[in-house]
Chains A and B, each alone.
Chain A
C-alpha cells in the first residue's frame, strides 16, 4: 500500500483539530458543532438551498464510506456510485412496491451493499490489490446495465417516482426543512460510528495495514479479513447514502449511478483529503456546491471543476485538509521556534 500518498495517522486527534484544540478531539467537536449549525442553517434559505445542503450531506455519507475503503484501508474502489444506486433502488422498490417502511429499507440497503462488498472483494483481493479497481469498475457498469435494462423491476430509463420520505416518531418529514434535519441526524450518527470505528482496535488494525501490511501481518493481523471488512463497511455506507438519496430526490433513474458517479466520488475523497475524517465533507462540498457557485459559467462548470481538481492535485496531492494540515504545521513550527518555548 506504499503507493498511496499516506495521509496522517489520527493517533489521538487528527491533524488540524488535534493541533488547534490540544487534548480535545477536534474531529468529534467539529462533527457535533457542524451538526448543530446545519440543523439551523437552512432557515430562510428556501426549498432549493435546503435541497442542496441535504444533497451535500447525503453525498458526504457515500464519500465517508469510500474514505474508509481508500483512505484508511488503501483500496481503490470504483463501485461506490453503484452501491449508492443499489441502496437507492432497494429503498425505492421496497418502499413503493411493497410499502415497507424506510427504516427497514435503510437497514436492508446497507446490509445488501455490505454483502455485495464481501462478494466482490473476496475474489479481487485473492489476486492483487489494484485488480479491485478493475473488478469494481466492471461491477459498476454491470449494475448500471441491470438498472437500465430490467424494466419490470427498476422501471428502466423511466425510473421510479413517488418515493415516500420517512416518518420519525409519527412526524412526517415531507417538508424540505424537516427532511434536512432528519438527514443531519442520520449523517451525524453515521459519522460518529465511523469516528468510533477508526479509534477502536479495528480502526488501528486498518491503519496498521495501510502503513505497513507486512509488519501488520507479522503482528498477527489477518490482512485479508480486515481489508475485506473495510471494503464491505465502506460499501455499506454507499448503500446508506443511496437509501437517503432516493427519498431526497423522490424520483430515481439509472443516470446518477453510472460509472462516472464512482469516479466523481473518488475525486471527492482525494480532493477533500484522503484519510482525514472530515475530508469527505469538504470533498462533497466541492462537488455539490461548486456547480451552484459556477452557475454563471453556464455549462462549463464540469470543465472548471476538472481543472480545479487537477490543479489541487498537482499543488497538493493530499487534498484540501492535507494542505491546511501542512500550512498549520509550518505555521506552528515558526511560531514555536520564534517563541523559544520549545526546541
Chain B
C-alpha cells in the first residue's frame, strides 16, 4: 500500500512536468493551429543550455539558469514564431508541422554534437530526502515538483482568466478573426503565447532534469508523453492538459512498477488510442464544431 502511494506520488510529479509541456503545446495549437513536433526538445534544451553556461562560460549555476532561460525564451519562443511560423503558416499546417520536425532534429543533434552525448547530472533546486506521511515515505523532491508545477499552472490560469491581457489571449485563441475586429492586438497575443510556451518549457526542463538527467535524447519520451497528455485531457484547455499530464504520469509510473518495464511505453500509447476511439475530444475537451 505504502509502495503504491509512493508510485502514485512519483507519477504525479513527472505527470505535473508533462502537464507543463502539454499546456504549452495546446496554447500554441490554439492560437496558431501549429502542431509543434519539437515540444519534447523544447523541454530537453533549456537544461543543456544552462549546463553549457556553467561549463563554457564559467557562470555560477543560478546565473547560467537566468541567462539560459532568457536566451531560450527569446530564441525558441519569439524567434521560432518570427522565423519559422510566420513565413510558413499561410502555406498550411502540414509544411509547418514538418518544419518543427526539422527543428527537433536540429535541436537534438546540436545538443549532442556541441555539448555532450552523455547524460549529465543536473542540480536539483530542492532538498533531497523524504518525509514520512502517515507511514508512507514520500520524496521531498517529488512533493516540491508537484507544488511548483501547480503554482505555475495556477498562476497561468489566473493570468488567463482574471487579467485583461489574459482574456485578450483567450479571445485570440478562440477566434482570431473576431478578436481582431474587437480591437485585440492579436499578433502581440500570439507572440505572448509562444513566449509562455517557451517559459513553461524552461520550467519543465529545470524540474525534470534532476530526475531524468540532462540528455540530448530526453525530448523523444517527453514530447510523446506531452502529446498523449494533451489528447487525453482535451486539446482546447489548460485544465484538460493538466489532467492529461497527471493521468499519463501516474499510468506510466504504475505501468513501470506493476506491468513490464520493457513495455511501459506501450501503456500510455494504448490509453491514447482508447481515448481517440471512445472520446476523441478528450476527457475534458469540448467538442469542436465541424468546420467546412
Contacts and interface: CB of A to CB of B under 8 A. Distances in A.
| Bound pair (A, B) | yes
Contact of B280 (A131, A305, A309): A131
Contact of A303 (B83, B87, B110): B110
B106 A145 contact: no
Contacts of B88: 313-314, 317
A123 B278 CA distance: 10
B134 interface: no
A127 B277 contact: yes
The size class of the interface chain A forms with chain B is 35 or more
A249 to B, nearest CB: 23
A306 B280 contact: no
Interface residues of B, number: 41
A325 to B, nearest CB: 15
Interface in B89-110: 91-95, 97-99, 101-106, 109-110
B178 interface: no
A141 B273 CA distance: 12
Contacts of B35: 130, 133
Contacts of A302: 105, 109
B84 A300 contact: no
Q: Looking at chain B's contact residues, is the secondary structure mostly helix, strand, loop, or mixed?
A: helix
B184 interface: no
Contacts of B224: 137, 141, 259
Interface in B261-277: 262-263, 265-266, 269-270, 272-273, 276-277
Given A305-B105, A306-B106, A299 B95 contact: no
Nearest to A299: B113
A130 B94 CA distance: 10
Interface in B211-241: 220, 224, 227, 231
Contacts of A135: 273, 276
Given A3-B92, A214-B292, A313-B99, A127 B84 contact: no
A266 B33 CA distance: 19
B18 interface: no
A145 B265 contact: yes
B210 to A, nearest CB: 26
B42 interface: no
Contact of B263 (A138, A145, A307): A145
Contacts of B7: none
Interface centre among B83, B94, B104, by most chain A C-beta atoms within 10 angstroms, is B94
A310 B263 contact: no
B122 interface: no
A214 B292 CA distance: 8
Contact of B92 (A70, A267, A299, A317): A317
B263 A128 contact: no
B76 interface: no
B109 A303 contact: yes
Interface of A: 2-5, 70, 76, 123-124, 126-128, 130-131, 133-135, 137-138, 141-142, 145, 148-149, 214, 259-260, 263, 266-267, 270, 274, 299-300, 302-303, 305-307, 309-310, 313-314, 317-318
Interface of B: 33, 35, 37, 83-84, 87-88, 91-95, 97-99, 101-106, 109-110, 112-113, 220, 224, 227, 231, 262-263, 265-266, 269-270, 272-273, 276-277, 280, 292
29 contacts: A3-B93, A3-B94, A5-B91, A5-B95, A124-B276, A130-B35, A131-B276, A131-B280, A135-B276, A138-B273, A141-B224, A142-B269, A145-B265, A148-B262, A259-B220, A260-B220, A299-B112, A302-B105, A303-B106, A303-B110, A306-B102, A306-B105, A310-B99, A310-B102, A313-B98, A314-B88, A314-B99, A317-B95, A318-B91
